[in-house]
Structure 1
Amino acid sequence: PEFSLDPELHCFPIAGCVAYRGYYQQGRARGAAALLRQQGLDTYIGGVEAYSTLGWFDDPLLNSMLRWDDERLVAVIFHELAHQQFYLPGDTAFNESFATFVEREGLRQWHTSRGETPPASDDHQRQQFVELVLASRERLRLLYARDLPAAAMRSAKQAEFARLRHDYHRLRQREWGGQGRYDAWIDAPLNNAKLLPFGLYDQWVPAFAALFAREGRDWPAFYAAVAALGQLPAEQRHAQLTALQGDD
């Protein structure tokens, strides 16, 4: 919605309710987005590198992946295989944060196994960028909770996006030497839907990192702990993830 960060959910068999939809044809995605915009919703269309069938079928390796370097390919494989390891229908943030942690830790261990030092610069830049966007999301959440006329809310929303762009460019100049990986993203139109993946793919990553450490960095023990978390009622699961986030 225009004045909300809560996603429109789409519900399917097996996968449960998710905060996005996937299309194999770009034209169909654009058409669906146009219909949603007619309903007054914010929309965002982005390309997806890969997807998981949750173990029901072999996950696809696409011919477009053959042009990637090894690190990028390995990262995507770790991420998608994590969904086969565990998937909780109806909780997108849990699933994607879990897979993102497995991707990052798996990639780190993959580099170590090859006697390589995992690259840190890009990860640091990405972390700073994500923190910037999540801070903007939090300010928008507080804004949308206020009782303001639609025109005033709309103006304040655009002011927040202007602030996000300003903060980004200042961070790029101050800490990244004027080189930013996310220039195209930040300079393109912004709306609530475009910010959504940052709340889904990154929200609980520190919690899963803390859980992995608590389980002695042992993958089978970690997966069992993740499955146990997934069995909890939503409110209790959220509370435990929040507690783990504080322990990180």
Structure 2
Amino acid sequence: MNRLNILWFRRGVPMLAILLLSGCSSLSYYTQLAGGQLALLRAREPVAAVIADPQRDPKLRDRLRTSQQAREFASRHLHLPDNQSYRLYADIHRQYVVWNVFATGEFSLDPVTHCFPIAGCVAYRGYYDQSAARGEAALQKLDGKDVYVSGVEAYSTLGWFNDPIISSMMTWGDERLATLIFHELAHQRFYVKDDSEFNESYATFVEQEGTRQWRAARGMSPETASSETLRRDQLTQLVLDTRDRLKTLYAEPLSADVMRQRKATEFERLRGQYKQLRDSQWGGDKRFDAWVYAPMNNARLLPIGLYDQWTPAFAALFKQVDGDWPAFFTAAETLGRLPQEERKAALERLLKKS
């Protein structure tokens, strides 16, 4: 695979379809969102019908059977919404369903955000057409921004529509597909406007604990992750470490030329650490080479680990309610309804217990 795992990127893609209701300032942007979402809705068909059709690809039918086991587990055991989301399938006949444009300042890791009445503020702009995404990226570059265009294989509408399993997801492993189902159904159960850190940390915990329980239900060790998951997590940590060093660098009183030079040095350090990890521990697995060795900038790092800071706090909350899912969701919803500063303080207290 010549791209990073979508689990990194989908965490910044919660609800493109809701933007249709948001009164976007650009008519062309509104139009492409409406057209793209409607095309996806029209492409949906019941997963059960695909599985039952002997004329369909046997591998596709097998993958969908396993996906439905995870979907059933999500509602029966994890107490996630029991609806038609991920019980539908859509063949979109392309590699990505949408392209996201991320942007930052040249010496900043803070994203350029886009705010909408229903969706709240998000750290990207999404396009169903790749050329439109590239056009937006070009405009941001002209404004002096670091820009990254990311192809995305899946997204969620938070229950506003019944989200399908998409053909672009069919190259994934079974566990990776299950984790997406758990994560996105967690968003459907509860979502706080204008608090991406809360929403994504909460859904990431549900994904992680749900996957652990899913492994156990399938007779696997709960702590056994796939090699792809382990390697993705290791590379994610390298990127997070790089982000921390860059954040420290950008706070220093340096000239622009010196800052650019040291910024480039940090990116080369990341590549060197990745190469060592790949060759010494991964047996030369090059699945992430294309991402690591592509031109690097702040925006390229932006989607990775951006919103997971409170995940350990939710783990502490789950432990506090003795692993009872309904009680956990009730407690999480109570937190989410607090004013933002009180919510943050409560999460910080939980973090200290983790």
Normalising by structure 2, report the TM-score: 0.65
Q: Does 1:77 align with 2:181?
A: yes
Note the alpha carbon deviations across 1:199-231, whole angstroms, 9 max, x for none.
424332222222222221121111122212222
Residue identity matched to 1:15: A
> What is the distance in 1 between the residues matched to 2:349 and 2:269?
31
Structure with a larger share of its residues in strand: 2
- Aligned equivalents of 2:152 and 2:307: distance in 1? 13
Equivalence for 1:162: 268
Q: Which amino acid aligns with 2:255?
A: P
Residue 213 (structure 1) aligned with residue 319 (structure 2): yes
Tell me the CA shift for residue 162 of structure 1. 1.0
Q: Which has the higher helix share?
A: 1
Residue number in structure 2 paired with 1:55: 159
What is residue 76 of structure 2 aligned with on the other side? none
Which residue is equivalent to 1:106? Answer: 210
Residues 95-244 of structure 1: pairs in structure 2 closer than 5 A: 95-117=199-221, 119-120=224-225, 121-179=227-285, 181-244=287-350
Give the secondary structure class of the aligned counterpart of 1:45.
strand
Q: In the alignment, is the contact (CA less than 8 A) between 1:75 and 1:106 conserved in 2?
A: yes
Report the Cα offset of residue 180 of structure 1: 5.1
Measure how far apart 1:181 and its partner are.
4.2
1:26 aligns with 2:26: no
Secondary structure at the residue paired with 1:8? coil
Q: CA RMSD in A?
A: 2.0
Report Cα offsets for 1:32-58 as digits up to 9, x if no partner. Answer: 111111111111111222222122221
Q: Report what 1:45 is aligned to.
A: 149
Q: Which residue of 1 aligns with 2:73?
A: none
The alpha carbon displacement at 1:69 in A equals: 4.1
Q: Secondary structure at the match of 2:165?
A: coil
How many angstroms does 1:171 deviate by?
A: 2.5
| 2-structure distance, mates of 1:214, 1:169 | 41
Q: 1:62 to 1:179 in 2, by over 3 A?
A: closer
Instruction: Tell me if structure 2 keeps the 8 A contact 1:165–1:187.
Output: yes
Query: Where in structure 1 are there 5+ consecutive unaligned residues?
Result: none
Matches of 2:314 and 2:236, distance apart in 1: 17
Change (3 A) 1:124 1:206: farther
Deviates more, 1:44-53 or 1:118-127: 118-127
Q: How far apart in 1 are the matches of 2:314 and 2:259?
A: 35
Other-structure match for 2:46: none
Whose Rg is larger?
2
1:157 corresponds to which letter in structure 2? K
Counterpart of 1:15?
A: 119
CA distance in 2, matches of 1:86, 1:181: 34
- What TM-score does the superposition give when structure 1 sets the normalisation length? 0.90
Paired letter, 1:238: K
Instruction: State the alpha-carbon separation in 2 of the partners of residues 74 and 227 from structure 1.
Output: 23
